[in-house]
């Protein structure tokens, strides 16, 4: 079983989500298998924000959806408040959906264009909440207000009458109306301007405090992830490379891939040193035939024989900072 270990998992009663050895595979042509997520483990404490970063195709969205059992993972365990979700029947899982909500990257297309904002936000309540329309509206109005959308004018308007940033606020409202424990935010600001991005990030921080939310925040922008997250997990080709408190991770990255991501991030600073030599391909290998041993080895400047043969396991760098690498940039405590 190719897993990167679970030394980094924490104990304690305030763990809301605990994922162990999560594996998601998809069938591919010719009887092959897409190894989208291959044995990753993490946990999230109540009120914490966990950031997931990594390049396109590394399995971030698949991980987020697997928490919701969409689809149910190929293997491993997903626990919500101690309850094993992978064992639930479909109807039982549907009942648990109110606890975990997901918001997506493309705010406009994730809202039904033919329905009014009032209806879109109230929709989940028809099944799960109060059904009396005045009670529903009172709840919807208070939440629209909390996300900065004027409830009265939104009641009868439709998504196309709103900007991308406003639509993202509306989809956040729709997630909040269920009073979830956890919200999985899948690249919620990637399609937005920096100005709107800042508005939404600030708002998420406020909502988190107001509603006591726990967040899993998926993004590929390192600065965005650092800003919003308490802890950050770096993913590569279906594996977890490194997990740490976010300030620590950025101060002392231990995985060569984390370092590469940081070196590539365009800081708005003309004095920033740019590594001009990086022009080579460095294409991500296929998740159908991932490299043996360490999956990053085809792009890693430190790769050696050991990396090709043996998969690195998570080991501790410092308190709460773990890396899966045979030759980490920071020496682990032994």
Partner 1 sequence: MTHHQYRAQGLAGNERRKLHCSHHRKPDNGGTRVEVWQIKGGVVSSSAASDSHALLSVRDLRTHFDVGGDAVKAVDGVSFDVHEGKALGIVGESGCGKTVLSRSIMGITTASNASTSGSVKYSGTELVGKGKRELRKFWGEEMAMVFQDPMTSLNPVVRIGRQLTEHLRAHKDLSKSEANDLAVQLLTWVRIPEPKERLSNFPHQMSGGMRQRVCIAIALACSPNLLFADEPTTALDVTVQHQILNLLAQQQQERQMGMVLVTHDLGVVATRTDDIAVMYAGKIVEKASTSALFSGMRHPYTQSLFWSIPKTSEPKHTRLSAIVGRPPNLAALPSGCSFADRCPYVQPICREVEPQLQTIDSHSFACHLPVGSSDAEAALSANISAGLPQSEGAATRREAHQGTFT
Ligand X SMILES: Nc1ncnc2c1ncn2[C@@H]1O[C@H](COP(=O)(O)OP(=O)(O)OP(=O)(O)O)[C@@H](O)[C@H]1O
Strand 321-323 to 239-245 pairing? antiparallel
Q: Locate 130 and state its tokens.
A: 């109060």
Q: Which residues contact 32 (CB under 8 A, 6 or more apart)?
A: 288, 289
Map residues 165-184 to x or -, x wherever contact with partner 1 holds by CB under 8 A.
x-------------------
By CB under 8 A, which span of 61-69, 90-98, 172-180, 278-286 interacts with partner 1? 278-286
Q: What is the DSSP string of 168-194?
A: HHHHHHHHHTT--SEEEEESTTTTS-H
Half-sphere exposure in the Cβ direction for 156 (13 Å, CA): 0
Residue (53 or 144) nearer to ligand X, CB: 53
CA distances from 256 to 197, 310, 327 (A): 29, 17, 9
Q: Locate 244 and state its tokens.
A: 């740490």
By CB under 6 A, which span of 59-67, 88-96, 120-128, 298-306 interacts with ligand X? 59-67
Residue 295 interacts with ligand X (CB under 6 A)?
no
Residue 59 interacts with ligand X (CB under 6 A)?
yes
Strand 33-45 to 15-27 pairing? antiparallel
Residue 198 interacts with partner 1 (CB under 8 A)?
yes
Of the residues 3, 51, 287, 290, which one makes contact with ligand X according to CB under 6 A: 287
Residue (58 or 125) nearer to Mg ion, CB: 58
Estimate the share of the chain in helix, then strand, then coil, as percent rounded to the nearest 5: 35, 20, 45
Residue (236 or 322) nearer to partner 1, CB: 236
Residue (260 or 317) nearer to partner 1, CB: 260
CA distance 307 to 188: 35
Backbone angles phi, psi at 25, to 5 degrees: -125, 145
**CA neighbor of 51 nearest in space, from 221, 243, 231:** 231
Residue (191 or 316) nearer to ligand X, CB: 191
Residue 1 contact among partner 1, Mg ion, ligand SF4, none, beta carbon within 5 to 8 Å by kind: none
**CA neighbor of 35 nearest in space, from 273, 231, 328, 290:** 290
Residue (7 or 272) nearer to ligand SF4, CB: 7
Residue 30 interacts with partner 1 (CB under 8 A)?
no
CA quadruple 127, 130, 135, 140: dihedral positive or negative? negative
By CB under 6 A, which span of 55-63, 153-161, 169-177, 313-321 interacts with ligand X? 55-63
User: Rounded to the nearest whole angstrom, what is the least distance from the CB of residue 290 to partner 1 in the complex?
Assistant: 16
Of the residues 45, 115, 119, 220, which one makes contact with ligand X according to CB under 6 A: 220
Burial letters for 256-285: b for 16+ Cβ neighbours within 10 Å, e otherwise? bbbebbeeeeeeeeeeeeeeeeeeeeeebe
Residue 256 contact among ligand SF4, ligand X, Mg ion, none, beta carbon within 5 to 8 Å by kind: ligand SF4
Residue 268 interacts with partner 1 (CB under 8 A)?
yes
Residue 201 interacts with partner 1 (CB under 8 A)?
yes
Q: Locate 148 and state its tokens.
A: 């900065």
Residue (3 or 118) nearer to ligand SF4, CB: 3
Residue 34 interacts with partner 1 (CB under 8 A)?
no
Of the residues 205, 298, 318, 327, which one makes contact with partner 1 according to CB under 8 A: 205
Provide the binding-site residues for partner 1, judged by CB under 8 A.
Answer: 55-56, 163-165, 193-199, 201-202, 205, 220-224, 226-230, 246-247, 250, 260-270, 272, 274-284
Provide the binding-site residues for ligand X, judged by CB under 6 A.
Answer: 26, 34, 36, 54, 56-62, 220, 287
């Amino acid at each position: 079983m190719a897993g990167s270990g679970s030394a980094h998992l924490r104990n304690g009663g305030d763990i809301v989500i605990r994922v162990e050895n999560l594996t998601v595979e998809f069938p591919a042509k010719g009887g092959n298998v897409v190894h989208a997520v291959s044995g990753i483990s993490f946990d999230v404490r109540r009120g914490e924000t966990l950031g997931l970063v990594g390049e396109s195709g590394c399995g971030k969205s698949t991980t987020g959806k697997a928490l919701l059992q969409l689809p149910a993972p190929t293997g491993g365990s997903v626990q919500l408040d101690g309850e094993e979700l992978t064992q639930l029947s479909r109807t039982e899982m549907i009942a648990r959906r109110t606890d975990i909500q997901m918001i997506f990257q493309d705010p406009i297309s994730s809202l039904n264009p033919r329905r009014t904002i009032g209806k879109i936000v109230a929709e989940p309540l028809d099944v799960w909440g109060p059904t009396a329309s005045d009670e529903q509206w009172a709840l919807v109005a208070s939440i629209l207000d909390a996300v900065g959308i004027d409830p009265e004018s939104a009641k009868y308007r439709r998504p196309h009458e709103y900007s991308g940033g406003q639509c993202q606020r509306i989809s956040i409202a729709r997630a909040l109306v269920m009073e979830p424990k956890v919200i999985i935010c899948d690249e919620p600001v990637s399609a937005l301007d920096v100005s709107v991005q800042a508005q939404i990030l600030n708002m998420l921080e406020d909502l988190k405090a107001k509603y006591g939310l726990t967040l899993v925040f998926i993004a590929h922008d390192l600065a965005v992830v650092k800003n919003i997250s308490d802890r950050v997990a770096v993913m590569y080709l279906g594996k977890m490379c490194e997990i740490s408190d976010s300030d620590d991770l950025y101060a002392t990255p231990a995985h060569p891939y984390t370092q590469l991501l940081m070196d590539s991030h365009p800081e708005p600073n003309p004095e920033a040193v740019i590594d001009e030599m990086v022009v080579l391909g460095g294409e991500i290998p296929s998740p159908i035939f991932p490299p043996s041993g360490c999956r990053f080895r085809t792009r890693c400047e430190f790769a050696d024989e050991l990396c090709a043969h043996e998969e690195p396991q998570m080991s501790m760098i410092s308190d709460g900072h773990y890396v899966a690498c045979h030759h980490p940039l920071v020496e682990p405590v032994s």
